Amino acid sequence: DAGVIQSPRHEVTEMGQEVTLRCKLISGHNSLFWYRQTMMRGLELLIYFNNNVPIDDSGMPEDRFSAKMPNASFSTLKIQPSEPRDSAVYFCASSSGGTGPRFEGGYTFGSGTRLTVV
């Protein structure tokens, strides 16, 4: 099991550029969560999907942010145009879905993408 795989690990871009972050879920997981972590605001949930369907995108800060899940194992988070205040570590996490009796392991987080917008 390769775990949740995120790319790139680091991204430095200029303000106004488009940024695309990528995430590959663990095989068999059907829920996907995008989080952003900053010193000021901690871990914030941006959007999450279940079985490729967006469930709640109320955490997406602005229309500049969009996320897709084109298939069961892959997701992208796009920021266009990027701004310096978007600088953060972006994590995706996957799970086997739900918090019922099956959900004993919590999420599995990817290693994150550190985004710096200058």
Partner 1 sequence: EDKVVQSPLSLVVHEGDTVTLNCSYEVTNFRSLLWYKQEKKAPTFLFMLTSSGIEKKSGRLSSILDKKELFSILNITATQTGDSAIYLCAVSTDSWGKLQFGAGTQVVVTP
Q: 45, 68, 72, 87: which one contacts partner 1 (CB under 8 A)? A: 45
110 binds partner 1 (CB under 8 A): yes
Spatial distance between the Cα atoms of 48 and 67, rounded to a whole number of angstroms: 9
* DSSP sequence for 37-80: EETTTEEEEEEEEETTEEEE-TT--STTEEEEEEETTEEEEEES
104 lies in the binding site for partner 1 (CB under 8 A): yes
Counting contacts by CB under 8 A, is residue 99 touching partner 1?
yes
Taking CB under 8 A as the rule, which mask of x and - marks residues 51-90 in contact with partner 1? ----xx----------------------------------
Q: Helix, strand or coil for residue 88? A: strand
- Smaller CB separation from partner 1, 85 or 102: 102
Question: Footprint of partner 1 on residues 10-29 (CB under 8 A)?
Answer: none
